Amino acid sequence: MAHIGPLGLLPPVGHRHSIGTGLLATPTPTSSTVQLIFYQVIAATGRGLESSEARPCLHRRRSRRLQPKLRACDIPSLAQTVFSNSLTDNLHRLAPLVNPEKVSVAGASGFRDAVPKAALLGVILSYSKAVDDVFYLTVGAAAAAFVSCWGMGWKSAEKAKAGAPEV
């Protein structure tokens, strides 16, 4: 259940998720496992807390004629596009002697066999920067959710008592 304050208002959501996802964009290929786990815990906790806080508010406050078209399938396809384009651009910049098509076909688990040892560091950095760009996309989406929550209205999220007017 969402945390509803003493006045019946839900707090704005999105800030914990955007902070956690922003932290996930900061590690490098040499970051420690403890750092990665810590950032993942922060991001997952934010996502979990905020998804349960937003649902009651959306169900109680959403107008039928202004019902938003929330499409969860759009973000993964957008993320895939950002990743592919960023990987290609970074490979051209950081590993210019490597064929980006060959790296894409080999995939993240097989590129070590598909590229020369001299270009391996450039390819690893390219993958790292491409993943960072995907996290920047999710930071932007979470920040947009946080900002849009402020426009949902400051009315009570508690169920109205029988016979009492809605505040």
Question: Structure tokens of 119?
Answer: 């270009």
Q: How would residue 19 be classed by pLDDT, with cut points 50, 70 and 90?
A: confident
Distance CA 152, CA 54 (A): 11
Q: What is the pLDDT of residues 71-125, one digit of tens each?
A: 556 778 888 999 999 999 999 999 999 999 999 999 989 999 999 999 999 999 9
Side-chain half-sphere of 105: how many Cα atoms within 13 Å? 7
Nearest to 22 by CA among 144, 143, 129: 143
Is 2 inside any structural domain?
Answer: no
* H-only helix segments in the chain: 15-24, 33-61, 74-94, 100-106, 111-114, 120-149
Give the count of domains, the chain.
1
Is 124 inside any structural domain?
Answer: yes
Is 9 inside any structural domain?
Answer: no
Q: What is the pLDDT of residues 129-166, one digit of tens each?
A: 999 999 898 888 878 777 776 776 666 655 555 555 55
Q: For the CA atoms of the chain, what is the radius of gyration?
A: 21
Nearest to 135 by CA among 22, 45, 27, 46: 22
Q: Which amino acid is at 33?
A: T
Is 167 inside any structural domain?
Answer: no
3-state DSSP call for residue 118? helix
Is 137 inside any structural domain?
Answer: yes
DSSP symbol at 6: T
pTM of the model: 0.63
Is 64 inside any structural domain?
Answer: yes
Is 158 inside any structural domain?
Answer: no
pLDDT, averaged across the chain? 77
Is 5 inside any structural domain?
Answer: no
**Residues spanned by the domain of 76:** 15-149
pLDDT at 141: 80
